[in-house]
Structure 1
Amino acid sequence: MTTSNLHRQPAPPLYERIKGTLREGILSGHYAPASLLPSEAALGEQFNASRITVRQALADLQNEGLIFRRHGKGTFVSQPKAFQNVTALQGFAEAMSAQGHAIRNRVLTLRTVPAPTDVAQALQLAPGTAVVELHRVRLLDQLPVSLEVTWLPEALGSIVARADLVTRDVFLVLEQDAGVALGHATLAIDAALADHATATALDNTGAGAALLRVERLTHDAQGAPIDFERLYFRGDAFQYRLRLDRQVASHAQSILPLQSTV
């Protein structure tokens, strides 16, 4: 037996090859967003595969969010997800507009309420202190992608309440109208399921649909908390991206050379 035979890797299953070819075609733009993929029968003929094998490949691509199916119409290429980098403190419209997206907001409620315990704690206020609560749906290219719930101390909230909240980010209102210098924000990101109210606000999202939930507490340049938010993004339409650099701790021990005992 030759060395080359010893190290030869088995060929991947046929459905993996079909999936890889289709994925490459989707990511390269050969299959454009919203375009109709070839039928299962056509793919079976193209790859000399059974319909079961083709369906397995398509099921994996659907699980990855690259395609979706419409009953009686076929399989279509998904629209690419919009994304926001979290390496800088930016409002949603600020970040999306820079990528060429059109942003509008649908204001659901704007009111003054007693601060719930968790909100008061985040904003370093006494429980029950009056805060301004804002609920908005963010529309990306006319598609509702997130529900944003914001709490602000009353003094700042009253300024935000007078602004055009249909087109402007709260961050820009705080900077431009209230004269607040923003400093930093802390984020907590996890998964959630849409309840009935959130599903209704996001239109086509059904109750129980997967959401990306972001809790963000923004501080001014002096470090005081001024803006507490809970953001609920549609998992099928949006993602956060960030870059992580490797940092070696300065106090890490050096590797000592081995000493001979001979």
Structure 2
Amino acid sequence: MANQKLVRSVPLNAQLQDILKSRIRDGIYPPESNFPSEKELVNEFNISRATVRSALAVLETEGHIVRRHGVGTYVSKLSVIKNPINRVMEFSELISSGGYKPGVHVYQACVVEADDILESGLSIERGSEIVRLHKMFTADDIPAIIVSTSIPSWVLGESYSEVIEHPEITEPLFDFLENKCGERIEKMVASVWPDRIQNSG
């Protein structure tokens, strides 16, 4: 692994985050492997421990690493799941591409009115009726992705009532929309953000 130097004109913690994320994506730090210690990173990049801690805190919050007190830091098992940005890809396919067994739990379908964001994103009138599906995708039975999908009611056609009562029929979503609704997905607009699931058990 070639030594990488940080540029002092750019925030050091941001540079370190990018380098470490790149190493995780490239498999230099494989899933569930030991992650370099704070001391090792301080010595490698010649930066302060505070800078290293700041970068690692972000990586932990985003789910790239797991820190266990008294044990050490490890690369997250789910850190290799990634999506080619120029492809429309089902979430189950996305999880499979990372080498995991996908699963999905469709736990709610509800009817809402389109707000400003949906009006712009779906090119529909504000207040239009929307069916919103809430799903959780798992990787090797571990919760990995929580999805909220908004579909204009008119798209569902005759399947509308069935979707409300049995939202699980919408998986795989692209197949459902094409085969049951006659709508082929060619473009997808998504907002993605990292979060952490707090274990209350």
Could you tell me the TM-score, scaled by structure 2's length?
0.57
Give 1 or 2 for the bigger CA radius of gyration.
1
Return the alpha-carbon distance in structure 2 between the equivalents of residues 140 and 166 of structure 1: 20
Per the TM alignment, residue 27 of structure 1 is displaced from its structure 2 partner at its CA by 8.2
- The alpha-carbon distance between structure 1 residues 74 and 126, as it changes in their structure 2 partners (threshold 3 A), is closer
Superposition map of 1:1-262 within 5 A: 33-36=31-34, 59=53, 62=56, 65=59, 67-79=65-77, 80-157=79-156, 159=159, 161=163, 165=168, 168-185=171-188, 187=189, 203-204=197-198
- The alpha-carbon distance between structure 1 residues 28 and 61, as it changes in their structure 2 partners (threshold 3 A), is farther
Return the alpha-carbon distance in structure 2 between the equivalents of residues 123 and 67 of structure 1: 35
Per the TM alignment, residue 110 of structure 1 is displaced from its structure 2 partner at its CA by 0.5
- The percent identity for this pair of structures is 24
Return the alpha-carbon distance in structure 1 between the equivalents of residues 85 and 25 of structure 2: 23
Per the TM alignment, residue 174 of structure 1 is displaced from its structure 2 partner at its CA by 0.4
The answer on whether the counterparts of 1:67 and 1:76 sit within 8 Å (CA) in structure 2 is yes
- Number of residues of Structure 1 aligned to a counterpart in Structure 2: 172
The answer on whether the counterparts of 2:83 and 2:94 sit within 8 Å (CA) in structure 1 is yes
The answer on whether the counterparts of 2:66 and 2:74 sit within 8 Å (CA) in structure 1 is yes
Query: Could you list the per-position Cα deviations for residues 193-251 of structure 1 after superposition, in whole angstroms to 9, with x for gaps in the alignment?
Result: 86xxxxxxx63389xxxxxxxxxxxxxxxxxxxxxxxxxxxxxxxxxxxxxxxxxxxxx
Paired residue secondary structure (1:82): coil
Unaligned runs of 5+ in 1: 1-11, 13-18, 44-48, 195-201, 207-262
The answer on whether the counterparts of 1:62 and 1:68 sit within 8 Å (CA) in structure 2 is no
Letter aligned with residue 165 of structure 1: E
Q: More strand by proportion, 1 or 2? A: 1
Letter aligned with residue 71 of structure 1: H
Letter aligned with residue 159 of structure 2: I
Task: Compare 123-132 and 27-36 and name the one that shifted more.
Answer: 27-36
- The alpha-carbon distance between structure 1 residues 101 and 176, as it changes in their structure 2 partners (threshold 3 A), is farther
- The alpha-carbon distance between structure 1 residues 205 and 155, as it changes in their structure 2 partners (threshold 3 A), is farther
Return the alpha-carbon distance in structure 2 between the equivalents of residues 190 and 26 of structure 1: 19
Return the alpha-carbon distance in structure 1 between the equivalents of residues 141 and 180 of structure 2: 27
Return the alpha-carbon distance in structure 1 between the equivalents of residues 76 and 116 of structure 2: 41
- The alpha-carbon distance between structure 1 residues 62 and 168, as it changes in their structure 2 partners (threshold 3 A), is same
Paired residue secondary structure (1:149): strand
Unaligned runs of 5+ in 2: 6-15
Per the TM alignment, residue 134 of structure 1 is displaced from its structure 2 partner at its CA by 1.4
- The alpha-carbon distance between structure 1 residues 205 and 116, as it changes in their structure 2 partners (threshold 3 A), is farther
Aligned-residue CA RMSD (Å): 4.6
The answer on whether the counterparts of 1:116 and 1:128 sit within 8 Å (CA) in structure 2 is yes
Return the alpha-carbon distance in structure 2 between the equivalents of residues 122 and 30 of structure 1: 37
Per the TM alignment, residue 108 of structure 1 is displaced from its structure 2 partner at its CA by 3.7
Return the alpha-carbon distance in structure 2 between the equivalents of residues 131 and 54 of structure 1: 51
- The alpha-carbon distance between structure 1 residues 38 and 203, as it changes in their structure 2 partners (threshold 3 A), is closer
